[in-house]
Structure 1
Amino acid sequence: MRRVATGLLLAMAATFLVARLLAERHPAWDVVRAFAEAAMVGGLADWFAVTALFRHPLHLPIPHTAIIPRNKDRIGDQLAQFLREYFLTPAVVARRMGRMDIAAAAGRWLTQPQGAAGGRLARGTSRLAQEVLQALDQERLGGMVRAMLVTRVRETELSPMLGRALEAAVAEDRHRPVIDHAARWARDALAANDHLVRAMVHDRAGSILRWTGLDETLANKIIQGLDRLVAEMAENHEHPLRQKVEEGLRSLAQQLQHDAAVRARVERVKIELLENPAMQDWINGLWEQARVAMLRAARDPEKLMRGKLGEALRQLGITLQDDPRLARTINRFVRRAAVGAAADYGDAIVRLVSETVRGWDTDTVTHRLENAVGKDLQYIRINGTLVGGLVGVAIHIVDVAL
């Protein structure tokens, strides 16, 4: 557009020369000359005005030119103050955030993350995550993760937690599948090892029982009785033996919570496990496994979104759109967070803007502001050329008429 504006100015100069040479042949050339002459004046005047904003025209130190470079510090301060007064006040932020439905927007993005903006965000987030994970000191960070995990486990008394979990499981009958599975396992184990029962009965039976073969009959009866007992226990939730097991679980839950000796025993077992070399090696590998998994997910975010995590995020997006109460809670939280950030960090943001502009050199300020305004600067020159030409024609007509 700069070339177009300059080319139009040169075209007016050429038109002026041609019109002046041909002025005696026809009166219409006087109108053309008047248009071209005034257009040159208008184009040059607007070129001077536009150029004077950003630099010295023709590199001449004309007063009141290069306005923006000379006043960049004041512009930065004024811009920062403008942001502080009209954008970063808590009242303005609260009013603006009150009109925004962040929860619905997040819900739409989570349910349809593959759009243009979502794709760019996913790719940018993926690159950032990869760079962060690869730049970290893995040994030091892994040691920090292990130390933090071990310290947290050491400080947490597990016995009451286990007791409450067991008590809740028994109260809600969530222990029944475990007992059912244990009964089925015991029945299968008895069937697979019945020869051991027979051998034990045979060894302990007297010579008369072995001679008469009654030891085999006794062994069969014992095996059948045990099998029937376990089967009835698995099928009947009110079986006396099953009731004994449940009573034992409830008693263990109480002991884990309230028996000092049991709690101390659990703590000793916990400490022994933490100090076991095998456990320490496993904990040491936790961070590396997590890092590798996160790096793999970051390299292929689309694959991650197609998996269980993606399905969970899409379900969260649907919930955010369909649950007004949850949406109001999230929007209120985001609004309060934004207002709090404006109140707490508004001055810091203002200083950052002001100091950043002050730190720019004059060429950077000129280049960035000129690019920010864009083609409109050159349209000013084009419009000045054309409007000046029309004004010149009007003045010529008035002059001829008088």
Structure 2
Amino acid sequence: MRITATLLLVGMGGVFLGAHQMLGVHPAWGYVHAFAEAAMVGGLADWFAVTALFRHPLGIPIPHTAIIPSNKDRIADTMAQFLQTNFLTPVVVARRMREMNVAKAAGDFLVKRGDSTEGRLRAGAAQLFVDLLESLDPDRLGMQVKAGLARQAEKIDISPLLGRMLEAAIADNRHQPLMDGMIRWAGLTLEDNEEMVRDMVQERANAVIRWTGLDGRLANSVLDGLYRLLAEILVNPDHPLRGKVQEGLEKLAHDLQHDPETRAKIEKLKNDLLANPAVSDWWQGVWERLRLSLIASIRNPDQAMGGQVGHSLAELGETLRSDPVLQMQVNRFARRTLVGTVNRYGEQIVGLVSHTVKSWDASTVTTRIERAVGRDLQFIRINGTLVGGLVGVTIHLLTEVL
């Protein structure tokens, strides 16, 4: 298409020279001459405009040319700011989380049987319950299971426990499915907000880009780049952004164990959950069975999963599936946790995006955007040549008539 647009411009130059020689032969040649002359002007002007977006025309450093490579770092900062402002914000995450029923999904997961992955998860959950119950004093519980368990649970600092669990999960590389889910969620969020992305890019486009009609194409290129980035992160386990997220998770695990502010927030969420009457009723019903199966769980976790502990977890799953009040509490806990994580670590994620784009050389940025826009750049030149010619004929006709 670049060759076609150039040949059309050269062709208009040839027509102009030929028509100039024939001006005295017939008045019609004046119209051909005017068309070719204006077409050359229009074609050259649009060639300059298109070229000025990506490089200096003819290598001459004319002011306000090579717009995209000259503003590469600003584009990177704007993209990062856009991601942080419109995706990694507490409002957006909370709105998305409200559409999800985490508690019901967890209940379905605990009730289902037979899948090896689910078995490992339930085995880990059972061990967690065993550790919790071992830390309690059975003599103090007796017939006051409901009140006793609540008091003991309130005394447990759950934040360091969660931090150690997350730390162990990262060490065993079991956090990757969670990261994959977050990436897919980011893709869905981007898909839901495509129009907003286009509007923002078009609003931030300078006059040259809007004048050439490239703002829409540039917005599509930004969207395609974001989708491509998410796809690369999803399929590439060694992608640098995964490493950055993992650093954030490692910091979260550390803060859960050592940061007083984080531990206070987790403690408050735990107390809100324990205050739910459905949780107290469930504890009272399952305590005796959990206590009796404790030794068996420690000695043979696999067998225990098929017995009292597995049955208790299945009951918990049924409660999560059927109790709307408990679902509301759990979903609120999940939403607040994720919103807090995004609020605390969102800047690190978008900082990596900005740093990655800034690390590209100007030639790489120019080539990727130019290829993404593609053939339409050359159609601008072709249209400019033809429209310029038509304008020239119109002006010539008006001068002849008037």
TM range (shorter): 0.3 to 0.5
> If you compute each CA radius of gyration, which structure gives the higher value, 1 or 2?
1
Q: Compute the TM-score of the two structures, normalised by the length of structure 2.
A: 0.42
